[in-house]
């Protein structure tokens, strides 16, 4: 593994940034319209990861969120932002989307920080993927198969049909049904109860009837998505084997309903017949035994190592990547867990060794900057982050981290550079709350309080915290000249009305 060259030529930076999701943002004068159509992702996700596959996500989200907040105080899954992983996902999806004729649709993969396996589409622009699915997939081909299947749901127009079907059901009943399934998934994921045990108590008529309709509806679509996936894989000269491997695992899991049921089984029913039908067409592929390229496998291994380093306990990381394993992925995982758990000087030495081996890998420089920044060494973090920005061809996420390091260095001479980096980053990533927050701090230090307030308001707004957003925006608005661009932006937020239930 260590001898495989890493291709650091993609325009993307790394760092595992966990942040609130930011699907809403007032772009024009009418943010309410935008938001009614694109409710906060955070809210959508709060309805339960497994459920979004059934629902378009555009209808009930706001009130489901409220209802669930009362029912169970379950934190919403965080969206994971990481350029290294996002770049790899783009690499995996690009050929598939092209084969599906969806290249123009700008479909992105949104990563959810959740250890369970799940993948689903909730609208025609996003494929949601749990990091657990990445972690569990040993080859790129396995996850590419899952992505091809999700693309099959999008290209098949399944979402629009589901929306229609849901629109005929009574809203309140659907909400109750969703909460029921959400609780089942939560229970199953935590190992508290098996699906079989929890379901009957939670899903009662008429919710049960709706659930059956929706699930049978989804079932009828699964084979169509499978067939589409096989076609996309064949058209792009990729193996269908990984998809079969993944689905077979779930088919077996569904036979032995155990405590640990992945939500993927609920979003994608896997009756035996479906797998048999899929296998029959998949094995006809001339590419069935084709392997992923060593370069792609390497990047996949690096991604899994990174996820381990950032999300697992140090003991678990060392079990999976013992010191005897001197491959780059293993060293990457150990360096990350080292800095995350307090051994900063040891970790920096490990990262420096990685950099010595691959000096043009932007993600190693980014990791060094992140490790230093999070250890309170903001000034020392600046040079590696600058290098990472350059090597990544200007990654917005790394720019935001550089902006943060420039601010935290406390050096007033660096304030303008921070502003510049953050503005450039936000131009590319206009939904990133983190960037607005940093920008607010930088503006505050420069004494520009109205714009600092406005950016803080924007950050809160993007996270769905409308109350705070409105307070901050109102304060900013009082300081701006009436009708000025800042005043108008603040006005959008002040007058924003969250979407109501039943709005379509």
Q: For residue 108, what are the contacts with CB-CB under 8 A and spacing of at least 6?
A: 90, 125, 126, 127
**Footprint of Zn ion on 290-349 (CB under 5 A):** none
225 vs 381 by CB, closer to Zn ion: 225
**Footprint of Zn ion on 217-236 (CB under 5 A):** 222, 225
Instruction: State the minimum distance, in angstroms, from the CB of residue 392 to Zn ion.
Output: 34
* Range list of β-strands (E), 20-169: 79-81, 108-112, 119-123, 126-130
| C-alpha–C-alpha distance, residues 363 and 302, integer Å | 10
Number of residues that bind Zn ion (CB under 5 A): 3
Establish if 10 lies at the interface with Zn ion (CB under 5 A): no
When CB distances to Zn ion are compared, the closest residue is 268
**Footprint of Zn ion on 164-223 (CB under 5 A):** 222
Instruction: State the minimum distance, in angstroms, from the CB of residue 268 to Zn ion.
Output: 4
Of 442, 445, 439, 454, residue with least CA distance to 484:
454
222 vs 301 by CB, closer to Zn ion: 222
Beta pairing, strands 17-19 & 119-123:
unpaired
268 vs 300 by CB, closer to Zn ion: 268
Q: CA-based angle 149:395:317, to the nearest 5?
A: 65
**Sign of the alpha-carbon dihedral angle for 39, 45, 50, 51:** negative
| C-alpha–C-alpha distance, residues 55 and 96, integer Å | 24
105 vs 220 by CB, closer to Zn ion: 220
Helix, strand or coil, per DSSP, at residue 25: coil
| C-alpha–C-alpha distance, residues 449 and 440, integer Å | 8
Judged by CB under 5 A, the residue of 38, 44, 268, 300 near Zn ion is 268
* Contact stretch for Zn ion (CB under 5 A) within 39-47, 175-183, 261-269, 279-287: 261-269
Q: For residue 301, what are the contacts with CB-CB under 8 A and spacing of at least 6?
A: 1, 327, 329
* Contact stretch for Zn ion (CB under 5 A) within 243-251, 262-270, 290-298, 410-418: 262-270
193 vs 268 by CB, closer to Zn ion: 268
* Contact stretch for Zn ion (CB under 5 A) within 188-196, 266-274, 327-335, 368-376: 266-274
Task: Quickly count: other Cβ atoms within 10 Å of residue 6's Cβ.
Answer: 16
The separation between the first and the last C-alpha atoms of the chain, rounded to the nearest angstrom, is 51
3-state secondary structure 334-375: HHHHHHHCCCHHHHHHHHHHHHHHCCCCHHHHHHHHHHHHHC
Instruction: State the minimum distance, in angstroms, from the CB of residue 97 to Zn ion.
Output: 17
161 vs 423 by CB, closer to Zn ion: 161
Q: For residue 309, what are the contacts with CB-CB under 8 A and spacing of at least 6?
A: 317, 332, 333, 334, 335, 336, 337, 340
96 vs 225 by CB, closer to Zn ion: 225
| C-alpha–C-alpha distance, residues 361 and 387, integer Å | 10
Instruction: State the minimum distance, in angstroms, from the CB of residue 427 to Zn ion.
Output: 36
63 vs 267 by CB, closer to Zn ion: 267
Instruction: State the minimum distance, in angstroms, from the CB of residue 244 to Zn ion.
Output: 14
Instruction: State the minimum distance, in angstroms, from the CB of residue 243 to Zn ion.
Output: 11
* Contact stretch for Zn ion (CB under 5 A) within 267-275, 409-417, 434-442, 484-492: 267-275
* Per-residue mark of binding to Zn ion, 446-475 (x: CB under 5 A): ------------------------------
* Per-residue mark of binding to Zn ion, 102-141 (x: CB under 5 A): ----------------------------------------
Tokens 């890998």 -> residue: 361
Task: Quickly count: other Cβ atoms within 10 Å of residue 479's Cβ.
Answer: 15
Instruction: State the minimum distance, in angstroms, from the CB of residue 162 to Zn ion.
Output: 12
Instruction: State the minimum distance, in angstroms, from the CB of residue 181 to Zn ion.
Output: 16
264 vs 321 by CB, closer to Zn ion: 264
Binding site for Zn ion (CB under 5 A): 222, 225, 268
């Amino acid at each position: 593994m260590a001898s495989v060259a890493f291709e650091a030529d993609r325009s993307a930076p790394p760092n595992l940034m966990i942040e609130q999701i930011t699907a809403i943002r007032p772009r024009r004068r009418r943010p309410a319209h935008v938001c009614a159509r694109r409710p906060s992702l955070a809210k959508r996700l709060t309805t339960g990861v497994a459920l979004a596959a059934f629902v378009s996500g555009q209808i009930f989200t706001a009130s489901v969120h409220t209802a669930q907040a009362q029912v169970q105080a379950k934190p919403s899954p965080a969206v994971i932002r990481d350029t290294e992983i996002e770049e790899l996902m783009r690499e995996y999806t690009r050929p598939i989307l092209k084969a599906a004729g969806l290249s123009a649709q700008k479909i992105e993969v949104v990563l959810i920080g959740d250890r369970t396996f799940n993948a689903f589409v909730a609208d025609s622009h996003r494929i949601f993927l749990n990091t657990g699915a990445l972690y569990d997939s040993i080859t790129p081909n396995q996850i590419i198969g899952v992505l091809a299947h999700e693309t099959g749901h999008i290209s098949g127009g399944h979402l629009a049909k589901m929306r229609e079907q849901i629109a005929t059901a009574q809203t309140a009943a659907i909400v109750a049904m969703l909460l029921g399934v959400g609780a089942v998934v939560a229970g199953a994921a935590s190992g508290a109860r098996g699906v079989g045990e929890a379901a009957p108590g939670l899903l009662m008529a008429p919710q049960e009837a709706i659930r059956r309709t929706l699930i049978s509806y989804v079932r009828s679509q699964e084979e169509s998505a499978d067939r589409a996936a096989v076609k996309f894989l064949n058209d792009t000269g990729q193996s269908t084997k990984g998809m079969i491997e993944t689905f077979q695992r779930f088919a077996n899991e569904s036979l032995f309903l155990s405590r640990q049921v992945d939500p993927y089984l609920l979003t994608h029913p896997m009756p035996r017949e479906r797998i048999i039908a899929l296998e029959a067409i998949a094995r006809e592929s001339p590419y069935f035994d084709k392997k992923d390229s060593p370069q792609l496998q390497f990047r996949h291994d690096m991604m899994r190592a990174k996820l381990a380093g950032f999300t697992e306990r140090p003991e678990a990381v060392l079990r999976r990547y013992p010191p005897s394993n001197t491959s780059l992925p293993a060293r990457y995982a150990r360096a990350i867990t080292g800095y995350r758990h307090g051994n900063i000087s040891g970790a920096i030495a490990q990262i420096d060794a990685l950099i010595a081996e691959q000096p043009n890998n932007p993600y190693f420089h980014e990791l060094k900057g992140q490790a230093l920044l999070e250890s309170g060494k903001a000034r020392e973090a600046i040079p590696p982050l600058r290098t990472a920005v350059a090597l990544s061809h200007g990654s917005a996420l790394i720019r935001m981290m550089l902006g943060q390091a420039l601010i935290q260095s406390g050096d007033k001479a660096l304030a303008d550079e921070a502003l510049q980096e953050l503005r450039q980053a936000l131009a590319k990533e206009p939904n990133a709350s983190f960037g607005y927050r940093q920008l607010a701090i930088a503006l505050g230090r420069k004494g520009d309080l109205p714009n600092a307030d406005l950016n803080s308001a924007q950050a809160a707004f993007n996270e769905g915290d409308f109350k705070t957003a409105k307070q901050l925006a109102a304060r900013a608005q009082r300081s701006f000249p009436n009708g000025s661009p800042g005043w108008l932006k603040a006005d959008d937020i002040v007058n924003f009305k969250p979407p109501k239930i039943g709005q379509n």
